[in-house]
Amino acid sequence: MPIVEIKDLRVTFTGGGKPVPAVSGVDLEVERGETLAILGESGSGKSVTLRALMRLNPEGKSRMEGTVRVAGQDVAALGRRELRAFRGRTAAMIFQEPSLALDPVYTLGQQIAEAVMVHDGCSRNEAMARALALFERVRIPSPERRLQAYPHEMSGGMRQRAMIALALSCRPQLLLADEPTTALDATVQIQILVLVRELQREFGLAVIFVTHDIGVAVEVADRIAVMYAGRVVESGPMREVIRRPRHPYTIGLLRSRAHGALAKGARLETIPGAPPDLADLPPGCPFAPRCFLATATCATTAPGPEPVGAGHQARCLRVDATAALLPAVAEG
Amino acid sequence: MVMQLPLTRPAAPVFERSEGYWSSVFRRLRRDRVAVAALAVILAIVAVALLADYVAPADPYRGATLRRLRPIGTAGFPLGTDELGRDMLSRLIHGARWSLLMGVTPVLVAFVLGSAAGILAGFAGGRINTVIMRSVDVLYAFPSVLLAVALSGALGAGLGNALLSLTIVFVPPIVRVAEAVTTQVRGRDYVEAARASGAGAFTIVRVHVLGNVLGPIFVYATGLVSVSMILASGLSFLGLGVRPPEPEWGLMLNTLRTAIYVNPWVAALPGVMIFVTSIAFNLFSDGLRSAMDVKR
């Protein structure tokens, strides 16, 4: 049984005037020990989907529909107390900006010990011992001293390691990572990715990794889900999606990468237009206005998921047309 | 895929305790000469106030008509005498008690009440926030001096009422600061991170909100002490606070006012004390503010 099962998840923000459907009908599954990368640009609903898994979207200002089951528990039905036990223990999260996600007035040791004590009710000494073990595990040099350090005294990479240690402190089964490498240097990025990979194998963690960086997704993921305008437009095994993309948006994303050194004077390919206003989506495919393959039907008919390979789906009416493009994409 | 380095742990790990938050604040504060000087002045005044009975050379209440308004430097009366012939030095020393009481108590009480209301408003948000903040705005609409005078006047003269009215004056600004800082902290990633790791609202307030909010509010409140002293002096000056013959600085300034043409230096002394004390509190509060800025 998969550890994460999302069926027809809809999250609507109702804070402002017009309700904004940030996520509209997402289906996802993640197996134990598997890493799923959710790929998408800003506003595609990837972070909202991730937060919905822990019910972290503001309760008063958003509405959540559909089923979200994590480790057999229906997340929407959890009571206050169960939800507190669920967060941190079943699922834990690491954030994009570790300097903001760590409390500046407490030492790292205190913060980890606090989380451990809240969940396990153990003594401060035991909690600190666990924090030390975790610091060693995420390979922070001179961990004893670093436990006594404040977040601002550490480098970005060390802070993110500490953040990971904090997330793992209550031995979760599912790790949610919200662009954890975006704020880091390229060299530090790869170290953190390697670390996440390694911890994931060691603890048998399921990882959901939200990113807008295809390179990062390729580095960590077993499977990839590409999101656009609040829905998953393409999902499948990592290699399959990267080598044989079938949704025009994925194709556009892959083409708009700078592969290695771009020849001088060569233009970077881009996807024309801008992401749609979520509060005012077109009736058909939300990508149609920017799509190079769009037909008149695309503007009126919303596509359903089309199977295009083993475990590979694309939400596009023109998967036949994209199939014809395959050699061109693979060569690029 | 990851290289295994032959890691050997040292037999005895080098365990060097890094300094705590408050000791690092203290270290930075110590380097700030102005703040240190201001603190020294405050401590000196507090010490003198506490030891007034031993330090004061004479009885602050005993006067003599024959030696009224002696100038500064008179033998036996280093700072002269007031309009009833009482020793100015002793009266200033005893006055420190009253003035500190009037300066610190309202701020302290307002700090507790205002922080509680402000943090509640900031953290709860929504309707609770509106109710608390709009009620505070009503009090805020009056200039603080006017409000203090009006409240004291309405409640009647006397020390207790003066303290009460000053407290009421200081609650609104503290609530505002507390609410603003709490609202800011509530939106921070580390609060969401805490929520994501299973902390309840109570834990978040106790650990993350209080830890980040009390410092700034405290700094702000320290700055209010000088305002409180000046307002208290003003109330006493108007006859709404401490009553004669108690040696409160504001009251002394009032009663000596008539002597300003006879002996201006003596008449100015209580004012000098109010000035020195309040500026010391202000400078100390400034120093504390910059010392508590962790990220420097």
Looking at residue B145, which CATH number applies to its domain? Answer: 1.10.3720.10
Query: What CA–CA distance (Å, rounded) separates A311 from A240?
Result: 9
**Whether the predicted pLDDT of B252 surpasses 60:** yes
A222 at interface of B, judged by CB pairs closer than 8 A: no
CB atoms within 10 A of CB B156: 10
Which residues of B lie closer than 8 Å to A, measured between beta carbons? Answer: 1-2, 13-18, 21, 126, 188-190, 192-200, 203, 207-208, 211-212, 215, 294-295
Looking at CA atoms only, how far is residue B220 from chain A in angstroms?
18
Q: Is the pTM of this model over 0.80?
A: no
**Whether the predicted pLDDT of B6 surpasses 80:** no
Residue B18: the pLDDT is 47
In a domain, B65, yes or no: no
Task: Return the structure tokens found at A225.
Answer: 């889900």
| Best mutation target, B19, B28, B190, to test chain A (most A CBs within 10 A) | B190
Nearest to B285 by CA among B104, B74, B115: B104
In a domain, B15, yes or no: no
Which of chain B's residues have a Cβ under 8 Å away from the Cβ of A100? Answer: 188-190
In a domain, B260, yes or no: yes
Q: What is the pLDDT averaged over residues B35-46?
A: 93
Which of chain A's residues have a Cβ under 8 Å away from the Cβ of B190? Answer: 100-104
Residues A108-128: tens digit of each pLDDT: 888 888 888 888 878 888 888
Residues A290-324: tens digit of each pLDDT: 888 888 888 888 888 889 888 899 998 888 888 88
Residue A261: the pLDDT is 55
* CB-closest option in B192, B197, B207 to A166: B197
Residue B9: the pLDDT is 43
**Share of residues in chain A with pLDDT > 70 (%):** 96
Residue B16: the pLDDT is 41
**Quick check: B1 and A85 CB within 8 A?**
no
B3 burial via Cβ count (<10 Å: 0-12, 13-18, 19+): exposed
At residue B10 the predicted structure's pLDDT band, cuts being 50, 70 and 90, is: very low
Average pLDDT, chain A: 87
In a domain, B112, yes or no: yes
**Share of residues in chain B with pLDDT > 90 (%):** 24
Q: Say how many domains are in chain B.
A: 1
Residue A174: the pLDDT is 93
In a domain, B208, yes or no: yes
**Quick check: A145 and B14 CB within 8 A?**
yes
Average pLDDT, chain B: 84
**Quick check: A103 and B294 CB within 8 A?**
no
Residues A56-88: tens digit of each pLDDT: 888 888 889 999 999 988 998 888 889 988 998
Task: Return the structure tokens found at A110.
Answer: 């205190």
**Whether the predicted pLDDT of B273 surpasses 50:** yes
At residue B107 the predicted structure's pLDDT band, cuts being 50, 70 and 90, is: very high
In a domain, B59, yes or no: no
Give me the interface pTM, i.e. the ipTM: 0.80
Beta-strand relationship, A312-314 and A91-94: unpaired
Q: What is the pLDDT averaged over residues B144-159?
A: 86
**Whether the predicted pLDDT of A330 surpasses 70:** no
**Whether the predicted pLDDT of A194 surpasses 50:** yes
At residue B56 the predicted structure's pLDDT band, cuts being 50, 70 and 90, is: confident
* Residue B259 vs residues A237, A329, B65, B84: alpha-carbon distances, Å: 94, 97, 14, 11
* Peptide linkage before B245 cis (omega within 30 of 0): yes
Which stretches of chain A are assigned E, i.e. beta strand? 4-13, 20-30, 35-39, 62-70, 73-74, 91-94, 174-178, 206-211, 223-228, 231-237, 306-309, 312-314
* Residue B150 vs residues B158, B173, B224, B269: alpha-carbon distances, Å: 14, 18, 19, 28
User: What residues make up the domain containing B155?
Assistant: 102-296
**Whether the predicted pLDDT of B17 surpasses 80:** no
In a domain, B232, yes or no: yes
Nearest to B211 by CA among A105, A108, A147: A105
In a domain, B82, yes or no: no
